[in-house]
Amino acid sequence: MNSERKLATILATDCVNFSKHMEDSEELTLTNLNDCRKIIDEVIAEFGGKIFSTAGDSVVAEFASPVQCVKAAIKFQDKLYERNEHSLTKLQLSWRVGIHVDDVIVENNNIMGSGVNVAARLESQSEPGKILVSKIVKDQVDKRIDYSIEADGTRKLKNISDEFEVFKVKGLKIDDDDFFSEEVNKENNEDENNKKDDKGSEALNPNNLICRGLKVIKTKFPDIGVMCDVALDPYTSHGHDGLIKSNQIINDETIEVLINQSLLQAEMGCDVLAPSDMMDGRIGKIRKALDKSNYQDVQILSYAAKYASSFYGPFRDAVGSKGSLKGDKKTYQMDFKNSDEALREVALDIKEGADMVMVKPGMPYLDIIKSVKEKFKIPVFAYQVSGEYSMIKAASEKGWVNEQDIIFETLLSIKRAGASSILTYFAKDIAKSLK
Distance, CA of 206 to CA of 212 (rounded, Å): 8
- Could you tell me if 138 and 47 are in contact, meaning their C-beta atoms sit under 8 angstroms apart? no
Distances in whole angstroms, Cα of residue 129 to Cα of each of 75, 114, 144, 242: 11, 24, 22, 43
Distance, CA of 286 to CA of 265 (rounded, Å): 12
- Could you tell me if 322 and 297 are in contact, meaning their C-beta atoms sit under 8 angstroms apart? no
- Could you tell me if 411 and 384 are in contact, meaning their C-beta atoms sit under 8 angstroms apart? yes
Distance, CA of 335 to CA of 194 (rounded, Å): 32
Catalytic-labelled residue, pool 71, 138, 360, 373: 360
Query: Is 375 labeled as catalytic in the residue annotation?
Result: no
Query: Is 360 labeled as catalytic in the residue annotation?
Result: yes
Cα R_g (the chain), whole angstroms: 27
Distance, CA of 51 to CA of 30 (rounded, Å): 20
Closest among 216, 208, 234, 222 to 271, alpha carbons compared: 222
Distance, CA of 37 to CA of 192 (rounded, Å): 42
- Could you tell me if 135 and 100 are in contact, meaning their C-beta atoms sit under 8 angstroms apart? no
Strands 164-170, 148-155: pairing kind: antiparallel
Contacts 24+ apart (CB under 8 A), 152-155: 155/121, 155/122, 155/125
Q: Quick one: which H or E segment has residue 216?
A: helix 209-220
- Could you tell me if 238 and 200 are in contact, meaning their C-beta atoms sit under 8 angstroms apart? no
Closest among 429, 399, 338 to 410, alpha carbons compared: 429
Catalytic-labelled residue, pool 195, 306, 329, 373: 306
The residues annotated as belonging to the active site are: 306, 360
